[in-house]
Amino acid sequence: MIGVIGVAHGMSHFFQLVLPPLFPLLRAEFDVSYATLGALVSTFYVASALCQFGAGFAVDRFGARPVLLGGLALLAGGTLLAGSVPGIIWLFPLAALMGVGNGVFHPADFAVLNASVAPRRLGHAYSSHGIGGSLGYALAPIVSYGLGDILGWRTALLAMGAAGFLALALLATQSSVLRSRAHGAGLPEHTLANSVELFRQKPILLCFAYFCALTVATVGIQTFVGTGLNAAYDISLAIATSAVTAYLLGSTTGILAGGFLAARTARHDRVAATGLAVGASLMMLIAVSPAIAHWAIPMLALTGFAIGSTGPSRDMIVRGATPPGASGRVYGFVYSGLDLGATIGPVAMGALIDHGSPRIAFAAVSVFLFLAIATVVQVRRTGRLGAASAHAAD
């Protein structure tokens, strides 16, 4: 079950990054700015945020399997159709369609993990889930850019969409493990009123803010750090793209280490704060020091490791604020903060680069990582009271 969820999460993250590596080709063909291309990514994440909130209710009511498979079908189908658009404007509704598909994965994935995995193994389960996502992120730039360079961006999108439908067929055969309620548990009874009360709890709102601030930074790195390195320090696009891949692979390694940290500590806030502080400091060094920037590949690998190591502890923090029977709703709500951050990040980074300020963009990433530290520390201070109140509301 952990393996199936890891694969599903990997597919979600892969399809989030099928378009950004093709931006240079899209810009050349359609003669558009990087800010416009960033808005394309933002469209994806706006749709994902809106869907993710509703998907949490659907998962709690109908179970994870139909929601999860439907989401992957929309991601693969949108990618397939994107390969045949006549102009850039047609990519916006398709990006929204793909965003709707992407929005189902976090509430569905965590509902399955929380219902099926023993508490002592949850740190490792969250780690495996995160590793699947990071591998999807790491593969996407290589596969998308590689296919686009060899076959052209249209054929690349057609091929990746077809591969998505193959993965969908394989996941559909694993229905017995996609269980989002414990054995013997009936359908949860939840009303709009107690759900609204749940979302008003301070630790849950802080988790939402944490995901928003963190994702402004991380999606900014994933989407435009390669272009930013090229613009700021004249680093070749090949090396800059390799630095993005190094960041993503470093993040995967960090998530693996973070699973062991999460399993061995109750102070998940300290793990998260330390990793984010290291990542923020490294990004600020890249912003202010041209000499260090030429070590971009190892620097970004270390940044990815530091931020990635916080992932399992982050998910343990959210679980601690989640009452029984509400995993879909809570994870759907707090992870919509991720999509809000992903909406802001690409447009802001793209605009700074368009206006000749790529080094400021790196500094902005650092600032948002420091803001995330402030929110995660506050979750620790309010978590028990908030979780108790949320439990009473349900």
pLDDT at 241 over 50: yes
Domains of the chain: 2-173+193-393 (1.20.1250.20)
What mean pLDDT is predicted for residues 147-171? 92
Q: Which of 32-41, 66-75, 367-376, 379-388 has the lowest mean pLDDT?
A: 379-388
pLDDT at 331 over 90: no
Cα separations (Å) of 51 from 102, 336, 393? Answer: 8, 8, 24
Percent of the chain with pLDDT over 70: 89
**Summary mean pLDDT of the chain:** 83
Q: What pLDDT is stored for residue 139 in this prediction?
A: 87
Sequence letter at residue 28: A
Q: What pLDDT is stored for residue 187 in this prediction?
A: 47
Q: Which of 93-107, 221-235, 370-384 has the lowest mean pLDDT?
A: 370-384
Residues whose CB is less than 8 angstroms from the CB of residue 14 and which lie 6 or more positions away in sequence, other chains included: 136, 137, 139, 140, 143, 160
More reliable by pLDDT, 382 or 266? 266
Q: What pLDDT is stored for residue 155 in this prediction?
A: 94
pLDDT, tens only, 8-31: 999 999 999 899 888 888 888 888
What mean pLDDT is predicted for residues 106-119? 82
Q: What pLDDT is stored for residue 313 in this prediction?
A: 87
Burial of 257 (0-12, 13-18, 19+ CB in 10 A): middle
Q: Among 11, 365, 2, 383, which Cα is nearest to 215's?
A: 365
Q: Among 2, 121, 111, which Cα is nearest to 59's?
A: 111
pLDDT, tens only, 292-328: 777 889 999 999 999 999 988 888 888 776 766 677 7
Q: What pLDDT is stored for residue 391 in this prediction?
A: 42
pLDDT, tens only, 247-286: 988 988 998 898 888 888 778 888 889 999 999 999 999 8
